[in-house]
Chains A and B, each alone.
Chain A
Amino acid sequence: MDCKNIEDILIFYALNEISGAEKEEVQKHLNKCETCNSIYNNLKADLNIIDEEKVTVINENFTANIMSEIENISSEKMKKNNIIKMFQPLAAAAGIILILTIGILTGNMIAADSTQNITNTENEIYYFNDLQQENAEFFLLNE
Chain B
Amino acid sequence: MPAQTDFLRPLPYFSALSDADMQRVERVALERSFERGEILFLEGEPCAGLYALKSGLVRVFKSSPEGREQVLLVARPGDTFNDIPVFDGGPNPASAAALELSTVVIIPRDAILSLVDACPPAAAIVRLFAARLRRMTTLISDLSFRSVLSRLAKVLLEAAAADGGTPAQRLTQEEMAAMVGTVRDVIGRALRLLEREGAIKMQRQKIVVVNAKKLRDMV
Do A and B come from the same complex? no
Q: Could you tell me which B residues sit within 8 Å of A by CB distance? A: none
Q: Could you tell me which A residues sit within 8 Å of B by CB distance? A: none
